[in-house]
Amino acid sequence: MEKRELKLLNQESFDLAHIFECGQCFRWNKEEDGSYTGIIKDSVINVQKKGEEIFFKGKSNEDFEKIVKDYFDLDTNYDDIKKKLSSIDKYLKISTEFGNGIRILHQDLWECIISFIISANNNIPRIKKIIERLSENYGEKIEFNGKIYYTFPTPEDLSKATIQDLRNMGLGFRDIRVYNTTHMILEKNVDLEKIKKMNDSNKMRDELLKLDGVGPKVADCILLFALKRYDVFPIDVWVRRVMNDLYIHNENEEKVNKKEIANLAESKFLGISGLAQQYLFYWKRENGKSA
DNA sequence: CTGCAGGGGTAAA
DNA sequence: TTTACCCCTGCA
């Protein structure tokens, strides 16, 4: 493990809070100085922004620059995306301004699958705690700047946990799902490497849906956050709320069916509905009903 | 202090 | 289409 540093200048659209707090990831934590520290595969990384400069410091065995560029999706031009989205209507215009600096992270597929299985009918603080516990117990230890961090466990490592072990770590009814999915992936009943090479979003989704605990919403989150499928549109309670408030106006929000939302998203959001969603979702969540 | 709803859904009936 | 689900927090 070696210490690494990387500095970026004039990086368009890069806001730490908006990236890490928009609900896409669970393992980044804010430091007292305003920077964020997190784990990307086997690397610890601290990100700090000072004016126009962004500093990445960390510990890694791999090509640090490559990891950062890939994970933070630096080859995608978000100014173009915002321009395109804000031309749609006033809500996209407001929300892309509000969420200026959001980027969709390119997360590890395996970690993303387990994380979003855990997210089912759960809240963010508890999701984060559970993922930390899994990492502490089954991941690998890394020391950085005097603190101890843990990588997210590999399928091999996590397969050592029994269902009872998982229950003891607070997964609740999700224990059996994580257990089954871990073993399905380990035994290549579902081959993650094969999924990464696929082109058709629908075929990828079909593969993911074979995993225990992966339903339509979780599958779409995985497609968006780990497989860079910007055309998918994960529909959860928040998205349904936002879409109803802005476009559908049904008095009984719970009666709005998913198909109606999906059709609306597909026709309206120019083939990048996943990105549109992140802006709308983040904007509405941070502003409550007043927005 | 106790009770209870509800949280980024899914699987099973 | 409806229902239970583990655990935790916030609030009456």
Which residue segments constitute the domains of chain A, with CATH numbers given?
Answer: 2-75 (3.30.310.260), 109-227 (1.10.340.30), 237-287 (1.10.1670.10)
Determine what percent of chain A is predicted with pLDDT higher than 90.
87
**Binding residues for strand B (Cβ < 7 Å):** A 22-24, 119-124, 126, 173, 177, 211-219, 221, 234, 236-238
* Residue A256, pLDDT score: 87
User: Which residues of chain A (10-69) touch nucleic strand C at CB < 7 A?
Assistant: none
pLDDT in tens, A90-102: 999 999 999 999 9
- How long is the CA A160 to C1' B4 vector, in angstroms? 37
CA distances from A4 to A1, A56, A85, A144 (A): 9, 8, 36, 11
- Mean pLDDT value across residues A231-250: 91
Q: Which residue is nearest to nucleotide B8 (CA to C1')?
A: A236
> How confident is the model at residue A288, as a pLDDT?
62
Question: Which amino acid makes up residue A265?
Answer: A
Measured to protein CB atoms, the chain B nucleotides within 7 Å are 6-11
Tell me which amino acid residue A4 is. Answer: R
Q: Distance of CA A3 to CAs A10, A45, A49, A135, Å?
A: 24, 10, 19, 22
Q: Which amino acid is at A67?
A: I
* Residue A170 approaches strand C within 7 Å at CB: yes
Q: Per-residue pLDDT tens for A116-125?
A: 999 999 999 9
3-state secondary structure A28-85: CEECCCCCEEEEECCEEEEEEEECCEEEEEEEECCCHHHHHHHHCCCCCCHHHHHHHH
